[in-house]
Structure 1
Amino acid sequence: MSLTVDRLLRIPALGLRRIVDIPAAHDISIDWVSSSDLADPTPFLARHQVLLTTGSQFLTESEERRPLINGTRTGLALITDYESFVQRLVSVGVAALGYGTEVLRPDIPAGLVQACETHGLTLFEVPYRTAFIAVIRAAADALAAAAGERQAWAMNAQRAISFAALRPNPQREIFVELARLLHRPVFLFSAPGPALSRFGPPLDPPAIVTAEAAALLDRGQRAATTIQTPAGTVSLQTVGRREDLRAVLAIVGPAPDPAEQSVITNVVALTGLALEQGRGLRRGRRALRSGALEALLDQRPSLTRLVLQHIHEALPPEPVRVAVWHPGHGAGNPLLRELDERAQTAPGWCFFATRGREIIALLPAEDAGARIAELGTARGLAGGLSDPLGYANLSEGIDQARRALAEDPHSPGVTAFADIGGQGITELLFTDAVRERAHELLAPLHAHDEAHGTELIAALTSWLEHNGQWDPAARELGIHRHTLRARIMLIEKLTDTPLDTMSARTNYWLALRA
């Protein structure tokens, strides 16, 4: 419990008496108590300090040398510039002023009382029997006790947060515990979206807080900030690694003290650790989904359902529509996270997997378009959508979605296969013999990608789709144009085919389409 003006004045042993009571100042926390009789002590004071004085700064030099009679100087004419003195104290944030009586005069000057009332400064009397050092020592003891209490609170709070991390659904439990410990509303804005989770006292976040959280997530850098809102001060802090922020934590109320900040920092660290562990789990889940997709393409839906059952997911009911996205370097991560969350929280809402650089999702045919519209991160990506079909025709569905995507591979939004009029002229060329020849042409590139972990197929695809332009293709791939140039030169070497003619480029573009 911090030392406030009210608690200091209530310490019985000191016998302090309120002269000017400012109710709004009762809960001001005191950082220290100082004593000074300087005419202007403000250069040596700081906010939230209490000043003790005997009033000698209000006397002339000749008056200070007059003899004491019964402990009081007689015939004194006090300087009456109390107004400017009190103004200076208020300007630096002094919390209260204590006047020691019976040292220079038996009572507090009326002008000083009036100035404190005018400027809203708490004024109290320090009786002659109470030494200033006794007030300072009492304050120091109270401050030390308060610091010890805050340290003990922080240790107990850290323990409570650690126990919360061991419960089921630890991420939620950690924030529930944090809101309970702070007695404040806590918001968690999770990417993408951002999706809002509320903890603690019921309160809707002001719009400015939601906008600031979205801006922090879009910026993609770790940061902390404080903003003023109609609901009060709100402190925001990002959660997650740079370029992979997962959430923004927002806490309503005054800026946290050091003890509270240590607990908040621990929560952010624990959440970050949980997210890192979740990253490995997500990678494992995505690998299982990729295998489940291959089993589904191999006409083994029962095996796919068994695999998904073990990770608490499910296939959507037939008929389904296939959606395919082929995002640039890193652009698919938010979409993958959102699909991941949907698949886990609502089994059967969708099934998705990655295949090379493609993201393939299966959604119930009746409302596939509406569900894709719910995926906020999909709006900025180009995608293709197949006609309704059963799992037995999944290969055809993927082919339809790819062909729909190929019609407009650079414009955001999903193109439906039905909207492109079915087969184009190029699709009529794709016989089994053509597909076999395409596999032969691209086999050296596939072999090199598998053996060396390169992405030659992706580089060739992007480069051809951008009409051999280096800069836009490199930007889509997330690499330097010189790196892309080196990959194309390697492709020419592996295939023994220069790609500087229209016929050669068309040949490989058709092979990729086939």
Structure 2
Amino acid sequence: MSLTVDRLLAHPALGLRRIVDNPSARDIAIEWVSSSDLADPTPFLARDQVLLTTGSQFLAEEGADARRPGINGTRTGPALSTDYASYVHRLADAGVAALGYGTDVVHPGLPDALVSACEAEGLLLFEVPYRTAFIAVIRTAADALAAAAGERQAWAMNAQRAISFAALRPNPQREIFVELARLLHRPVLLYSAPGPSLARFGPPIDPPAEVGAEAAALLDRGQRAAATLETPAGTVSLQTVGRREDLRAVLAIVGPAPDPAEQSVITNVVALTGLALEQGRGLRRGRRALRSGALEALLDARPSLTRLVLQHIHEALPPEPVRVAIWHPGHGAGNPLLRELDERAQTTPGWCFFATRGREIIVILPADDAAERLAELGTARGLSGGLSEPLGYPALEQGIDQARRALAADPHSPGLTTFSAVGGRGIAELLCTDVVRDRARELLAPLEAHDASHGTELIPALRSWLEHNGQWDPAARELGIHRHTLRARITLIERLADSPLDSMEARTNFWLALRA
């Protein structure tokens, strides 16, 4: 329990008496109790301190060596004179919580001018009787502050234990934030990417719009950060959750700024949530690997196997007819889209099916409302993609090919390009016969075999390099690798295919093979 002005004044052994009251100061948590007879002690004081004085600074000088007789046989030396009004005004401006005046030391009783000045400034004034030494008041305050600090440390330890137990319950992320709101007795808000979507815990509150805007800005920035907002609902403290460049949420707590004990608990919550997210990231990687295998089974005309695999991860194939969407984002640019697709597939089985092939993101959606569902994917708006015509699963390979051609027609403009808008354009499409596809498979077979056996990404490297007209730097940036690494991969491709890529004919052959 913190030491307030009221608790200090109520201590029976001190005999302190309230002279000028200020209701707003009664519950101020005292930082410390100091004593000073300086005419201006404010440079040495912090906010929310209690100041004790005997009033010698109010004595007028009577000559350089003058001595004024004091009260109760004491004598006082010369002091810098000051008036009561300016003295009290300085204390109020400095945020002093209360002023204690030691009576019968240099002045019998309390000076009326001091009482009037405290009433004018709204500064709480209390009397320290002659029998009570200032050190006794200071020691009492120090003991109370130490006890309060011990109580907060014990609270923090118990709170950490409660948070840890919450992390062991089903749905640990939700339980952690429910427990945090209970411990803090404050509204706790969680803005989750993408969106961000809002989850509320603890006392009900309708958060101001600027809190959501600040949370979105922190997520877009991609850096771990904290911020404080002053809103009509009160002070809001925000803190990002997740790793740098992979932020998952922003935690917002409404109420006064957390004290050190509360901040330690909040830090623990962020750490535990980050750990849960790391575990979730491993699960997502596992699910994505299963989906990639399920896609290959679907292309191999084994839809029953695909449905069985998806059933085990609580997902489902969308009903036919379907449309295929493809994105080919640069290194790291597709991570937010993959997270959103994962959440959609997990929360609403059959909403979509998606998988990755190299750096391609392939999404299958019901044909009836594919465009509407794709519009709901906020993370896809800044990416270039292609969309096929409606088709059934037996023609899925054709749908993937259509989506690739649509993307290739406009690979740099944000948004989806439909195959119907570009189909039939260009000579390359006319050349994609069965004979050409067979030759393309022969040409690319050594590269695909090497990728499969060594875990390399030669096919994506070749595609990106050719799409950037053989320019090393733009292609390397898109792939997220160094240009020397890309040069090494192209050299390996030339060796495996036994074909140098320094001529237009060779590059055209591989470009057509990739499109076929």
What TM-score results when the alignment is normalised by the length of structure 1? Answer: 0.94
For 2:254 and 2:323, how far apart are their aligned partners in 1?
Answer: 44
Tell me: CA distance 1:81–1:405, structure 2 relative to 1, closer, same or farther (3 Å).
Answer: same
Aligned match of 1:300:
302
Quick check: 1:183 aligned with 2:185?
yes
**Segment drifting more, 200-209 vs 189-198:** 200-209
SS for the counterpart of 2:399 is helix
Tell me: CA distance 1:78–1:427, structure 2 relative to 1, closer, same or farther (3 Å).
Answer: closer
Question: Do 1:22 and 1:120's aligned partners in 2 also have CA atoms closer than 8 Å?
Answer: yes
Tell me: CA distance 1:251–1:124, structure 2 relative to 1, closer, same or farther (3 Å).
Answer: same
- Counterpart mapping for 1:202-241 below 5 A: 202-241=204-243
Quick check: 1:260 aligned with 2:247?
no
Q: 1:333: how far off?
A: 0.8
Aligned match of 2:468:
466
Pick one of 277, 280, 285 that aligns with 1:278.
280
Aligned match of 1:24:
24
For 2:206 and 2:425, how far apart are their aligned partners in 1?
Answer: 51
Cα displacement string for residues 291-336 of structure 1 (whole angstroms, at most 9, x for unaligned residues): 1112222222222222212111111122211111111111111110
Aligned match of 2:127:
125
**Segment drifting more, 435-444 vs 334-343:** 435-444
**Segment drifting more, 55-64 vs 222-231:** 55-64
Q: 1:456: how far off?
A: 2.0
For 1:77 and 1:502, how far apart are their aligned partners in 2?
Answer: 96
For 1:295 and 1:440, how far apart are their aligned partners in 2?
Answer: 21
- Counterpart mapping for 1:334-353 below 5 A: 334-353=336-355
Aligned match of 2:35:
35
Aligned match of 2:57:
57
Question: Do 1:71 and 1:102's aligned partners in 2 also have CA atoms closer than 8 Å?
Answer: no
For 1:176 and 1:91, how far apart are their aligned partners in 2?
Answer: 40
SS for the counterpart of 1:105 is coil
Tell me: CA distance 1:208–1:34, structure 2 relative to 1, closer, same or farther (3 Å).
Answer: same
For 1:77 and 1:175, how far apart are their aligned partners in 2?
Answer: 58
2:31 partner amino acid: D
1:450 partner amino acid: A
Cα displacement string for residues 141-178 of structure 1 (whole angstroms, at most 9, x for unaligned residues): 22122112211211121121111111111101111111
Aligned match of 1:168:
170
Cα displacement string for residues 15-71 of structure 1 (whole angstroms, at most 9, x for unaligned residues): 222222112222221011111222232333222111111112222465983445666
SS for the counterpart of 1:13 is coil
Pick one of 395, 406, 416 that aligns with 2:397.
395
2:339 partner amino acid: R
For 1:69 and 1:8, how far apart are their aligned partners in 2?
Answer: 26
Tell me: CA distance 1:105–1:296, structure 2 relative to 1, closer, same or farther (3 Å).
Answer: same
**Segment drifting more, 100-109 vs 475-484:** 475-484
- Counterpart mapping for 1:99-498 below 5 A: 99-422=101-424, 425-498=427-500
Aligned match of 1:96:
98
Tell me: CA distance 1:69–1:389, structure 2 relative to 1, closer, same or farther (3 Å).
Answer: closer
Tell me: CA distance 1:345–1:176, structure 2 relative to 1, closer, same or farther (3 Å).
Answer: same
SS for the counterpart of 2:13 is helix
Q: 1:376: how far off?
A: 0.6
Query: Share of identical aligned residues, percent?
Result: 84
1:458 partner amino acid: P
Q: 1:206: how far off?
A: 2.2
For 1:269 and 1:296, how far apart are their aligned partners in 2?
Answer: 40
For 1:43 and 1:330, how far apart are their aligned partners in 2?
Answer: 53
1:444 partner amino acid: P
For 1:430 and 1:460, how far apart are their aligned partners in 2?
Answer: 19
Question: Do 2:176 and 2:269's aligned partners in 1 also have CA atoms closer than 8 Å?
Answer: yes
Question: Do 1:461 and 1:509's aligned partners in 2 also have CA atoms closer than 8 Å?
Answer: yes
For 2:35 and 2:209, how far apart are their aligned partners in 1?
Answer: 47
Q: 1:258: how far off?
A: 0.4
Tell me: CA distance 1:311–1:40, structure 2 relative to 1, closer, same or farther (3 Å).
Answer: same
Question: Do 1:292 and 1:303's aligned partners in 2 also have CA atoms closer than 8 Å?
Answer: yes
1:98 partner amino acid: G
Question: Do 1:73 and 1:105's aligned partners in 2 also have CA atoms closer than 8 Å?
Answer: no
Question: Do 2:355 and 2:361's aligned partners in 1 also have CA atoms closer than 8 Å?
Answer: yes
Tell me: CA distance 1:137–1:315, structure 2 relative to 1, closer, same or farther (3 Å).
Answer: same
2:243 partner amino acid: R
1:210 partner amino acid: G
CA RMSD in angstroms comes to 2.3
For 1:80 and 1:397, how far apart are their aligned partners in 2?
Answer: 89
Tell me: CA distance 1:422–1:26, structure 2 relative to 1, closer, same or farther (3 Å).
Answer: farther
For 1:78 and 1:402, how far apart are their aligned partners in 2?
Answer: 87
For 1:25 and 1:77, how far apart are their aligned partners in 2?
Answer: 30
SS for the counterpart of 1:246 is strand
Question: Do 2:72 and 2:105's aligned partners in 1 also have CA atoms closer than 8 Å?
Answer: no
What TM-score results when the alignment is normalised by the length of structure 2? Answer: 0.94
Give the gaps of 5 or more residues in structure 2: none
Give the gaps of 5 or more residues in structure 1: none
For 1:69 and 1:452, how far apart are their aligned partners in 2?
Answer: 95
For 2:45 and 2:51, how far apart are their aligned partners in 1?
Answer: 8
SS for the counterpart of 1:414 is strand
Question: Do 1:72 and 1:105's aligned partners in 2 also have CA atoms closer than 8 Å?
Answer: no
SS for the counterpart of 2:368 is helix
Q: 1:505: how far off?
A: 1.5
For 1:373 and 1:231, how far apart are their aligned partners in 2?
Answer: 33
For 1:316 and 1:19, how far apart are their aligned partners in 2?
Answer: 77
For 1:114 and 1:402, how far apart are their aligned partners in 2?
Answer: 84
Question: Do 2:331 and 2:480's aligned partners in 1 also have CA atoms closer than 8 Å?
Answer: yes
For 1:169 and 1:248, how far apart are their aligned partners in 2?
Answer: 18
Question: Do 1:71 and 1:103's aligned partners in 2 also have CA atoms closer than 8 Å?
Answer: no
SS for the counterpart of 2:493 is helix
Question: Do 2:61 and 2:81's aligned partners in 1 also have CA atoms closer than 8 Å?
Answer: no
SS for the counterpart of 1:14 is coil
SS for the counterpart of 1:498 is coil
Question: Do 1:354 and 1:360's aligned partners in 2 also have CA atoms closer than 8 Å?
Answer: yes
Aligned match of 1:48:
48
Q: 1:72: how far off?
A: 8.4
Q: 1:102: how far off?
A: 2.0
Tell me: CA distance 1:398–1:77, structure 2 relative to 1, closer, same or farther (3 Å).
Answer: closer
Question: Do 1:382 and 1:414's aligned partners in 2 also have CA atoms closer than 8 Å?
Answer: yes
Tell me: CA distance 1:415–1:65, structure 2 relative to 1, closer, same or farther (3 Å).
Answer: same
For 1:255 and 1:443, how far apart are their aligned partners in 2?
Answer: 62
